[in-house]
Amino acid sequence: MQVTVDIYKSIEENAGFYYDKVKKLRKKIVRAKEALRSNEKKLTELVESKIQIQAKHADVKEKRALAWYEKFRWFFSSEGFLVIGGRDATSNEIVIKKHTDSDDIVFHTEVAGSPFFVIKTEGKKPGQKTLDETAQATASYSRAWKLGITSLEVFYVHPNQLSKTPKAGEFISKGSFMVEGKKNTMTPKLELAVGITKEGFIMGGPSNAIKQNCPQFVIIEQGKEKTSRAAKYIQKKIGGEVDDIIKVIPPGGIKIS
């Protein structure tokens, strides 16, 4: 390190000159450090802000386009058949009038407030597993769940046995149909499951069908747990969105097995 000395100044004057110079440099270093800390803080805030914005965008990003059957109750049977059901009187009417073909199979109960469920056969003959699972779904999503009835008689018929033409002196309400001819009856146990498919879709329905189609699932039975609280618990177990889970839980309390 070289130090320049002014020969026309005394030692004390030269020392004073460098002392003042060092003081100024120290002040510059302090200001530089403060500026660096300030810039680092601003940079951190910008990064955090960007992360928050990205998170918000992720939360409000456009959801995937729903398949037509996802407007209703639905599941795929353990044999691979699509099964759809009404959520209320209006959707019952739509399911039967717009989405039931002549070779499909229609399920219902005699209990008021029961959904219509339809096996979409696509010309194929469903096996006993699909019949059993659809009967279980029909019973479980009926008012019997809320009333605490553990089993319920369900019947299935062909679409051409349904009619909106009432008998003399009778009235057919919205979502209801007259059934003509022989009924095939079954008495399933009320039990459902909520699962998440490999693709990340929430599916609710009879336990055997959900086990077949979903790597992760939770069995639910009639109980006293509120839907919203139960849905949050199920979400912790299998993932998915709470709102999607709520949609597949039947009205009334539940118990998680």
Extents of the domains making up the chain: 68-189, 191-257
Query: What stretches of 64-111 adopt beta strand conformation (E)?
Result: 73-76, 82-85, 105-109
pLDDT in tens, 134-147: 999 999 999 999 99
Is the confidence at residue 126, as pLDDT, over 90?
A: yes
**DSSP classification of residue 159:** G
**194 or 58, which is more confident?**
194
48 or 211, higher pLDDT = 211
Determine the pLDDT at residue 29. Answer: 76
Res 95: pLDDT? 95
Rounded to the nearest integer, the mean pLDDT of the chain is 86
**Structural contact between residues 191 and 133, judged by C-beta atoms closer than 8 angstroms:** no
Mean pLDDT across the stretch 34-50?
73
The DSSP letter of residue 249 is S
pLDDT score for 65: 81
Residue 9: pLDDT band (50, 70, 90) is: low
Residue type, 230: A
Q: Which of 207, 200, 155, 205 is nearest to 181 (CA)?
A: 155
Q: Which residues, in sequence order, are bridge partners of residue 185?
A: 155
pLDDT for 60: 41
34 vs 88, higher pLDDT: 88
Model pTM score: 0.74
Provide the pLDDT for residue 43: 75
Among the listed residues 82, 94, 196, 180, the one whose alpha carbon sits nearest the alpha carbon of residue 137: 82
Q: Is 195 helix (H, G, I), strand (E, B) or coil?
A: strand
pLDDT recorded at residue 19: 66
Let me know if 22 is exposed, middle or buried by CB neighbors in 10 A (0-12, 13-18, 19+): exposed
